[in-house]
Amino acid sequence: MTQTQSTEAARAPAKNDSIHSESRRTFMKLAAGAGAAVSVTSKLAWANGEIGFWAKDLPSDKLTEMFNTIVRIRWYERTCVDKMITDPKYRGYNHFYPGQEAVAVGVCAALNNKGPFNELDLVYSTHRPSGHAIAKGADLKKMAAEYEFRATGLNGGYAGEMHISDKSCGFIGADGMIGPGHVIATGSAFAFRARGSKQVSVVFGGDGTYATPHFHGALNNAALLQLPFIYVLENNLYHQYAHYSYSCPMKDIASAAKTYGIAGVVVDGQDVFQVYNAAKTAVDRARAGEGPTLIEAKTYRYYNHWGAPGAKPGQLGAFGYDPLAISSFRPEREVRAWMARDPVDICRDTLITWGVFDRAKADAIEAAAKKEAIEAFEWADKQPFCKPEDGLKNVFVEGAVPARQFG
């Protein structure tokens, strides 16, 4: 985690979150010093010492829940991939998130996701929304039904994957466009500030968002008005099939924060606790009226941009040439190298190291997550299709627009 900004200040962890930290810290030092954790250290990214390591101060049930959320995302996605490549009747198209789970979970764990709408922190998502939606609290069954365009889906079949949303947990939703969501998200932050609320507005976006004109509009105005706004830039190295160096002249996109005089942070996106630390610092800053943060999480997606070309049933990740790539494609060795630093493994191993749970418990959690995901897609398959004429509704709050296709 690199601080590109000096405004960073150590802040005391919120009361209800501080527990067991002393013993965990001690254990951490012992393990590191004695080399006892050697077999897992290669998968662990260590914090910059213990200062600001908020994650370590979280209660065990919260930490366990973070692992649970990671594997729920992982298995929701893997189940969906398998369905897509084995069930010819499956009609969804998807942009898969595996490899990046730690980012969604680390950020959303620092947010308020329950309660009345005017107390929720809001999350704006992208064309790759499953992870963000689940981490924010959306229901797996309803998501699966939405991905299959069913009337009982999260959004009644209007949305599909690329536009799912769930107001009840503050998930403003996916957006198929690259750029605009970031600027819109600053508007929610503006509304929070105007009404004196402590809510924060968070937007997720890829490395592809950097080059959009919207990047400037979002950060400049958030900086000028000191908005409670957090821009989580998931740098998974590629936008579609182009490496981010095609669209960005610098290595760390977070360094752009400097221009705006706001906090910019680069974080290891494979380690959910590193992400949590950065997010919590940013959330505290936002709630304190100290303005926006740009968090760049270095991460990777195990599947291709879109759909599941190169994936095999029951196997994690996609390999080989994607016919959609046409003129450029990422090397398979790169995929495998990133998979060796898997966010599920890092989270599991860290929590075992911290003594939060043992491997058996972790396996049980993962098995339950897998079961939940499978059941969600099974449930979805039994849901009713949409009524054609409902397409004329929800254009405006009231009524329906006239049919015009019949002349």
Partner 1 sequence: MARKSFMYAVLEAVQHEMRQDKDMIWIFELTPPVASTPGKPVINLEKEFGRKRVVNTGIDENWMASCVLGAGLAGSKAVTYIPYQGNCMCFQVIQNHAGKLRHMSGGGASMPVVFLLEMTGQTPGFAGQHSDYEIDTYYAHIAGVKTVVPSTPTDAKGMMAAAIQDPNPVCYLYAGGLRELIEEVPDNQYTTPLDKAAVRTTGGDITIVGSGGGMPEVLKATAVLQKQGMKVETIDLRCLKPMDTETLVKSVRKTKRLLTVDQSYYTLCPGAEVIARVAENVTGARYKRVAFPDAPPPASPEMFLWMRPNAEHVVGAARKLVG
Residues near a copy of itself (CB under 8 A):
211, 213-217, 220-221, 223-224, 246-250, 255-256, 258-262
Q: CA torsion angle for 285, 287, 289, 294 (degrees, to 10)?
A: 40
Nearest-approach distance from CB 218 to partner 1, in angstroms: 8
- Confirm if 66 and 105 have CB atoms less than 8 A apart: yes
* Mode of pairing for the β-strands spanning 238-239 and 242-243: antiparallel
**Identified binder of partner 1 from the candidate list 208, 269, 292, 307, rule CB under 8 A:** 208
The residues near 329 (Cβ < 8 Å, ≥ 6 apart) are 241, 321, 322
Does position 128 interact with ligand TPP (CB under 6 A)? The reply is: yes
Does position 239 interact with ligand TPP (CB under 6 A)? The reply is: yes
How many of the chain's residues bind partner 1 (CB under 8 A)?
88
Per-residue binding string, partner 1, 135-154, x by CB under 8 A, is: --------------xxx-xx
For residues 80 and 102, which CB has a smaller minimum distance to partner 1 in the complex? Answer: 80
**Identified binder of partner 1 from the candidate list 68, 100, 130, 199, rule CB under 8 A:** 199
For residues 72 and 285, which CB has a smaller minimum distance to a copy of itself in the complex? Answer: 285
Q: Which does 98 bind (CB under 5 to 8 A by kind): ligand TPP, Mg ion, a copy of itself, none?
A: none
Query: Residue 176 phi/psi, 5° resolution?
Result: -80, -10
Does position 403 interact with partner 1 (CB under 8 A)? The reply is: yes
CA angle 358, 353, 63 (to 5 degrees): 70
Neighbours of 285 (CB within 10 A): 23
The residues near 144 (Cβ < 8 Å, ≥ 6 apart) are 76, 80, 376, 377, 379, 380
Q: From CA 184, how far away is CA 165, in angstroms rounded?
A: 15
Q: Within positions 192 to 211, which residues make up the interface with Mg ion, using CB under 5 A?
A: 206-207
- Confirm if 150 and 380 have CB atoms less than 8 A apart: yes
The residues near 302 (Cβ < 8 Å, ≥ 6 apart) are 96, 98, 99, 316, 317, 318, 335, 338, 339
* Mode of pairing for the β-strands spanning 2-3 and 263-268: antiparallel
Does position 240 interact with ligand TPP (CB under 6 A)? The reply is: yes
For residues 256 and 278, which CB has a smaller minimum distance to a copy of itself in the complex? Answer: 256
Query: Residue 21 phi/psi, 5° resolution?
Result: -60, -40
Q: Within positions 224 to 253, which residues make up the interface with Mg ion, using CB under 5 A?
A: 236, 239
Q: Which stretch binds partner 1 (CB under 8 A): 76-84, 131-139, 185-193, 339-347?
A: 185-193
Q: Within positions 252 to 311, which residues make up the interface with partner 1, using CB under 8 A?
A: none
Q: Which does 128 bind (CB under 5 to 8 A by kind): Mg ion, ligand TPP, partner 1, none?
A: ligand TPP
Q: Which residue from 67, 12, 103 is spatially nearest to 295, judged by alpha carbons? A: 103
Does position 56 interact with ligand TPP (CB under 6 A)? The reply is: no
Which residues sit at the interface with ligand TPP, rule CB under 6 A? 127-128, 176-179, 205-209, 236, 238-240, 305
Which residues sit at the interface with Mg ion, rule CB under 5 A? 206-207, 236, 239
